[in-house]
Structure 1
């Protein structure tokens, strides 16, 4: 099971004009808590790649975790951290919609199914 990576994908559609502020707050306030839960920030993507003032941007954040045990640890710790829910509530006025999904490479899926 070593070497298998689970990707956590956060996708956030922002109210017009808030993408840059959200990305800065996410990096400053959310990312350290995710790192404390064992997550590694891979990249933050902004689409379209311009800071719109009058249109929505979509921010996609890609995190990695080294396998199922690390994913379960991070998920459980996150669910029991009231600060995370409070942070998302604080950011609510910037957000149109948000989602989180998990993925693995096709080469890792069979091994990741072996829980």
Structure 2
């Protein structure tokens, strides 16, 4: 199982705008590419004047091959979505995670599993 955690730093007033963009421009194509949105969080849980908030989006994919397949299937709508988010955000980072108790396969082992 692969989890993808998107960390998007935005001003508080842009959080609803980013969530609307997510709903309108990304969830459909993300789902078609194998992404399942598990959760959305914002931190801190209040709007502090002159301080940004961090929006966290937690996604799930069934495995390493699905992760790279999802990336390879990204079309122009994905680029447009992230470009719109970048215009609203201070910065963003994508964390790709797996269970630390599972042995990490070598890259060629992933290809052999296909």
| TM-score computed with the length of structure 2 as normaliser | 0.82
Q: Unpaired segments of 5 or more residues in structure 1?
A: none
How far off its partner does 1:50 sit? 2.8
* 1:25 and 2:21 correspond: yes
Q: In the superposition, relative to structure 1, how do residues 33 and 51 fare at CA in structure 2: closer, same or farther (>3 Å)?
A: farther
Report Cα offsets for 1:46-99 as digits up to 9, x if no partner.
111135575311001010000122112101112xx1221122222333111011
| TM-score computed with the length of structure 1 as normaliser | 0.81
Q: 1:101 aligns with which of 78, 95, 106?
A: 95
Q: Unpaired segments of 5 or more residues in structure 2?
A: none
Matched residues, number: 108
Partner of 2:61: 65
CA contact (8 A) 1:17 1:53 kept: no
CA contact (8 A) 2:21 2:81 kept: no
Query: Aligned Cα RMSD in Å?
Result: 1.9
